[in-house]
């Protein structure tokens, strides 16, 4: 038996401000730090020894994982991968979701957020929010840096990394600290969700999803914080 633990970062500053964040590298709120601390405590209660840690390149995911490791008193090296980054929201980046609902209509905003293959307009490369202008991403090859992404685009880069770097290690206990859409992409693959189901999947902040594997196949899964659990559409 082995375990795969998927953790969406704790609440970020732009989560609180209801902004489309994507690749903008914002940090956690105080509540987000508390969520990360509780995540670490809940993993500790399961008495699972983590063998491998993965994170996106983004501060909110990295700092969530640091807090979790502090709670576990486990400081194994973390492999950071830009492929685990949040979806890039293109020209929506930095805009307030509630204001956009008023401007574009709730249905259109929902389509931008949850449709499978709809991309927002590209973000201007001169924008300070563009990844090319953010120090965090300077080591990513320029041709790999997106201007906008659909959930399908996110799924393809996340899955490529998972298959190349993680899938062959699945007999070990692995923890991944990432984002709503990158975890949603992983869940689509792991649980064999169709394009419509994946749009309904909600991933709460700072609540570890424990996936239990036997002989490399999922036998069960559950959120460790039952009070903040969301419907997994399976199990």
Residue positions annotated with a catalytic role? 9, 86
**Residue whose C-alpha is closest to residue 168's, from 219, 216, 218:** 216
Kindly report the CA angle at 203 between 125 and 69, in degrees rounded to 5? 90
Determine the Cα–Cα distance for residues 184 and 229; give it in Å rounded to an integer.
14
DSSP code per residue over 213-225: EETTEEEEEEES-
Cα Rg of the chain, angstroms: 17
Which runs of E-coded beta strand occur in 82-198?
174-178
- The residues, any chain, with a CB within 8 Å of residue 106's CB and separated by 6 or more, are none
Q: Name the packing angle between helices 106-114 and 97-104 (round to 10°).
A: 120
């Amino acid at each position: 038996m082995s375990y795969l633990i998927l953790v969406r970062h704790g609440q970020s500053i732009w989560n609180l401000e209801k902004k489309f964040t994507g690749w903008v590298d914002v940090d956690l709120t105080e509540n987000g730090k508390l969520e990360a601390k509780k995540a670490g405590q809940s993993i500790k209660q399961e008495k699972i020894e983590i063998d491998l840690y993965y994170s996106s390149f983004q501060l909110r995911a990295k700092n969530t994982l640091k807090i979790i490791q502090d709670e576990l008193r486990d400081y194994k090296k973390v492999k950071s991968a830009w492929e685990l980054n949040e979806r890039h929201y293109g020209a929506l980046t930095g805009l307030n979701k509630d204001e956009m609902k008023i401007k574009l209509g709730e249905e259109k905003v929902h389509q931008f957020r949850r449709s499978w293959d709809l991309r927002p307009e590209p973000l201007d490369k001169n924008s300070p929010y563009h990844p090319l202008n953010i120090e965090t991403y300077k080591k990513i090859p320029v041709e790999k840096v997106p201007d906008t992404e659909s959930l399908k685009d996110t799924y393809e880069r996340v899955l490529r990394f998972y298959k190349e770097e993680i899938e062959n290690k699945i007999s070990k206990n692995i923890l991944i600290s990432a984002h709503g859409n990158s975890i949603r992409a992983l869940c689509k693959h792991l649980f064999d969700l169709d394009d419509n189901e994946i749009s309904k999947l909600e991933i709460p902040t700072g609540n570890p999803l424990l996936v239990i594997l036997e002989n490399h196949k999922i036998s069960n899964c559950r959120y460790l914080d039952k009070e903040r659990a969301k419907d997994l559409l399976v199990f």
